[in-house]
Amino acid sequence: MLEVILDTETTGLSTTEKHRIVEIGCIELSNQIPTNKIFHQYINPQRDVSEDAYKVHGYSNKFLSDKKTFSEISEDFLDFIKDKKIVIHNAPFDLSFLNYELRLINAKVLDKKNIIDTLEIARAKYPGSQNSLDALCKRFNINNSKREKHSALIDCELLKEVYI
């Protein structure tokens, strides 16, 4: 079975405020074994990054200004995830942004039935405990020292270890 570990970084917390994706990271697994296929893109969100989001990931408006837009990378992204289960930590957040971007370019949105939400799994398995990605790394003795700031690809690497 092919799966994709997926994470995004954004300009803010809500699509209702027209916040957009600035980074997508994906790591492919085959029967929970990494295939060494990755998809990674920084994205020009065509709007300013909020101060709070900048504090989380460190991607400035200047850094993102010369990157491709979501519409320019969407075909490659959709090809990468096609016919695969998608593994996301806190899926409603990332899905809301991905589907917002897909609607903006009149593309088919992602179906929740193809999504595995590791936050949901962790909450069921460890009720009442901290279940953030950092907390899960600590619980499973996964080294997350590379994670000074959020990065979609680093977060995918960590989530891959947590998930497996």
Residue type, 7: D
Run of H or E residues at 9: strand 2-10
State pTM to two decimals: 0.96
State pLDDT tens for residues 86-106.
999 999 999 999 999 999 999
pLDDT category of residue 23 using cuts at 50, 70 and 90: very high
User: What is the structure's pLDDT at 147?
Assistant: 86
Which of the following is catalytic: 19, 57, 89, 150?
150
User: pLDDT (tens digit, 9 = 90+) per residue, 116-150?
Assistant: 999 999 999 999 999 999 999 999 999 999 888 88
User: Does the active-site annotation cover 89?
Assistant: no
Rounded (5°) CA angle 150-30-43: 35
Cα–Cα–Cα angle for 26, 84, 13, rounded to 5 degrees? 45
Q: What is the pLDDT of residue 61?
A: 98
User: Are the CB atoms for 163 and 125 separated by under 8 Å?
Assistant: no
End-to-end CA separation in angstroms for the chain: 14
Q: What is the pLDDT of residue 149?
A: 84
pLDDT digits (tens, 9 = 90+) for 27-69: 999 999 999 999 999 999 999 999 999 999 999 999 999 999 9
Q: Identify the pLDDT of residue 148.
A: 82
The predicted structure's pLDDT at residue 150: 87
